[in-house]
Structure 1
């Protein structure tokens, strides 16, 4: 097991403390439990308009709920991160909502990276599956920065999986968070541009995923071609 200093363990300690506090609050405070149950029902409904109305009714708690949602969805895969981006933009507009979504993605990515870095590989495999972890780690070791950026651009890919595995890899945090910001910013801008039409948003997200996948496939093809040329 790797030796790490207490200062390096702070992100993991804060994360565990926060999650533990919320769990205790859920079981010890009935009003919070009712609120959490309703929020879970709404956020997992997949109904953008219903989610928007609920978030809007929360006043200044709304942004905090969205940020918490980005953290929760790392472990609750039934709440996709792209849905929270859409809700942020629909509820608070392109600028405030876009900024909130960017903050949420960066926050969740940083926490997932810390979890991957400070927990064992076995634990991460239990969270995301051994095959997914091994496959993702192989690609990360090979393609690193651009793989993360392209995964962020494609909303239907497993963004949190790659964050966990990035923490296990040799990639530095600054490089990881820069790749995350580079990939997610165009996606958020695209969502903001498409506006309040949910049909346009869904079509746009599908096209964004297709473009991301094509971009990654093209990059892999180019890289392998370069490798063959070096060997010849």
Structure 2
């Protein structure tokens, strides 16, 4: 079955390359997306999405999938842009659903291609650091990592795909864990500038750390009870 998945993935990649080569629209979308990300500027990403007019939401969705595959790209910039362009509610839904789709894609990509390919996408050091979370927290790793803004989102998805974790458990934990950050970023996305951005980010990290401390304490207590 894994061989079938690999063939299907290869066909998909060939189709995408062919579309990029043949279609000026696809080429403009891909090249423009990478150029917008290269600026690391919310305003530049926002201008790029807005330029697509009626297709803006679909382009934003594509951007989130793209950044999921190319792990170092920052997803929160798209979330801010979505909030500014589509409003806190609609933009939040768009960001949450597209990030979930990106996480699912990374999970299955890792399961199909294996560890060697994932290391090339994320970097060996990053992947090993995420592995340490799985070793320490087991099945709770996904929820804990999703609640921490400073833990890379996509390497966690890739690492989960390399484990025996079921997709349903991964998907539910991702959805719940990603929700607080999406809500906060979406609500204030259109207002974030300079110091305000760092203030909100600091508050979000403090909130996530508080939840993490409670969860780790609970997990530790459960393990101690099992040992006794």
TM-score by length of 1: 0.81
- Of residues 215, 222, 225 in structure 2, which corresponds to 1:219? 215
Could you say what secondary structure the match of 2:190 adopts? Answer: coil
* Residues 60-79 of structure 1: per-residue CA shift (max 9 Å, x gap): 22112111111211233442
Equivalence for 2:42: 48
Question: What is the CA–CA distance in structure 2 between the aligned matches of 1:195 and 1:129, rounded to whole Å?
Answer: 30
1:128 Cα offset (Å): 2.2
Unaligned runs of 5+ in 1: none
Equivalence for 2:201: 205
Question: What is the CA–CA distance in structure 1 between the aligned matches of 2:66 and 2:152, rounded to whole Å?
Answer: 15
Contact kept in structure 1, 2:82 and 2:186, CA below 8 Å = no
Equivalence for 2:122: 128
Matched, 1:161 2:155: yes
- Of residues 177, 180, 183 in structure 1, which corresponds to 2:174? 180
Q: How many residues align?
A: 226
1:176 Cα offset (Å): 0.5
1:216 Cα offset (Å): 2.9
Unaligned runs of 5+ in 2: none
Structure 1 range deviating more: 70-79 or 103-112: 70-79
Question: What is the CA–CA distance in structure 2 between the aligned matches of 1:88 and 1:40, rounded to whole Å?
Answer: 17
Match runs of 1:1-232 below 5 Å? 4=2, 6=4, 9=5, 15-30=9-24, 32-199=26-193, 200-224=196-220, 227-228=223-224, 231=227
Contact kept in structure 2, 1:15 and 1:111, CA below 8 Å = no
Question: What is the CA–CA distance in structure 1 between the aligned matches of 2:74 and 2:187, rounded to whole Å?
Answer: 20
